[in-house]
Amino acid sequence: MKDGIGGEKATGDGAEGLHRLFRNAGNGNHFLILKLAGTQSNSNGIGARVTVICEGNTCYRQNNGGGGGEYASQGSEPLHVGLGTATEATVVVHWPSGIVDTIPSLAANSRLTIVEGAWP
């Protein structure tokens, strides 16, 4: 069995046998979907570090561009962040250029494009 990478033979439990695809039926939890748009950094914000703070919890994401750069996995862009039961969150973006944008009190279940340098 070829793995498509360098033509080597795929080995291990994942190479043969039964494979399953699970479907997430969802729940009542909240989320944010964040797209990054660089102006001084690269246009897709690759390398930007995003911090999301809600109800005393802190979540981190690093934007790798969503091009499938994760080992044995598929990337995702825009960034998805789960908030649990929180109804709002503060988002802080540390851009590769050194600019820091802070978006306070962002409503849960929002989809937002964050433009580098547009937030105080």
**pLDDT score recorded for residue 72:** 57
Q: How many residues does the chain have?
A: 120
Evaluate whether residue 89 is within a structural domain: yes
The answer to whether residue 8 sits within a structural domain is: no
- Do the domain assignments include residue 83? yes
For the chain, how many structural domains are there in total?
A: 1
Q: Please list the pLDDT of the chain residue by residue as tens digits (120 residues).
A: 444 455 556 566 656 667 778 888 889 999 999 999 999 999 989 999 999 999 999 999 998 876 555 555 556 678 999 999 999 999 999 999 999 999 999 999 999 999 999 987
Q: Are 96 and 50 in contact (CB under 8 A)?
A: no
Which residues form the domain of 103? 28-115
Q: For 46-106, give the DSSP string.
A: TT-EEEEEETTEEEEEE---SSS-STTS---SSEEEEEET-SEEEEEEE-TTS-EEEEEEE
The answer to the question of residue 98 being in a domain is yes
Structure tokens at 1: 């069995």
Q: For residue 9, tell me if it sits in a domain.
A: no
**Any domain includes 3:** no
Helix (H) or strand (E) holding 32: strand 30-37
Tokens representing 14 are: 């994942």
Q: CB-side exposure of 68: number of CA atoms within 13 Å?
A: 1
- pLDDT value, residue 2: 47
21 in any annotated domain:
no
CATH number for the domain including 76?
2.60.40
5 falls within a domain? no
Total-model pTM: 0.75
14 contacts: CB under 8 Å, gap ≥ 6: none
